[in-house]
Chains A and B, each alone.
Chain A
Amino acid sequence: GQQLNQSPQSMFIQEGEDVSMNCTSSSIFNTWLWYKQDPGEGPVLLIALYKAGELTSNGRLTAQFGITRKDSFLNISASIPSDVGIYFCAGQLRTSYDKVIFGPGTSLSVIP
């Protein structure tokens, strides 16, 4: 079945540093999504991307929909302690009514 690969698997960074993580797939996706999960809670949508090449920002977060439609990346600038959590990429293959498939996640730790 369709599978998403995320890298890195985990990151330990100093507060104030920028962070970059990415997501790849062997399949073409029509929608790319980035979610964040805080400990003990369900994931929350951060950014949604719908067009190849699209670059979208949400505060200190920036994400891009890859030109090949098989990848996406997420950047976090000037990290802060509350950025700690697991970041998941996700996608929908065709329509907006397709199942949302999630990657394995990138665990982010921020050292104050």
Chain B
Amino acid sequence: KAGVTQTPRYLIKTRGQQVTLSCSPISGHRSVSWYQQTPGQGLQFLFEYFSETQRNKGNFPGRFSGRQFSNSRSEMNVSTLELGDSALYLCASAYSGTGMIAGELFFGEGSRLTVL
């Protein structure tokens, strides 16, 4: 079974630009969550989508947005990039249904964003 796929793996942007990251979940998983990982801060929750609807939201500014498509693939967008947005962005999918293990997330390898 293919794992969670994130693209691109690495990217470099400059302040003020915008970026779109993509995530393809494990087949059959309808929940997709996004996290921002920076050294010392752990994983900060951005948002979670389930069946094309945002089900949970973290405490990030409106510059961070996301969406989910009917095939469960998800994208997140960051507009007006700031230096502090440099981070590893992790996507995680979950099987949200009967027999699921609550809290079990399957992570991709992440998209490493550098803002110059």
Contact = CB atoms under 8 A, between A and B. Distances in A.
Nearest to B108: A42
A25 to B, nearest CB: 13
Interface stretch (A60-68, A72-80, A101-109): A101-109
Interface stretch (B12-20, B39-47, B72-80): B39-47
Interface residues of A, number: 28
Interface residues of B, number: 29
B109 A42 contact: yes
Given A42-B92, A96-B102, A100-B33, A88 B43 contact: yes
Contacts, number: 66
Interface string B13-39: 000000000000000000001010000
A41 B92 CA distance: 12
Interface string B87-116: 000101000100011111111111000000
B42 A92 contact: no
Contacts of A99: 33, 45, 48, 56, 58
Contacts of A102: 35, 42-45
30 contacts: A4-B42, A31-B103, A33-B103, A35-B105, A40-B109, A42-B107, A42-B109, A43-B107, A44-B107, A45-B105, A48-B103, A48-B104, A50-B102, A88-B42, A88-B43, A90-B103, A92-B102, A92-B103, A96-B102, A97-B96, A98-B56, A99-B33, A99-B45, A99-B56, A100-B45, A100-B103, A101-B45, A102-B35, A102-B44, A104-B41
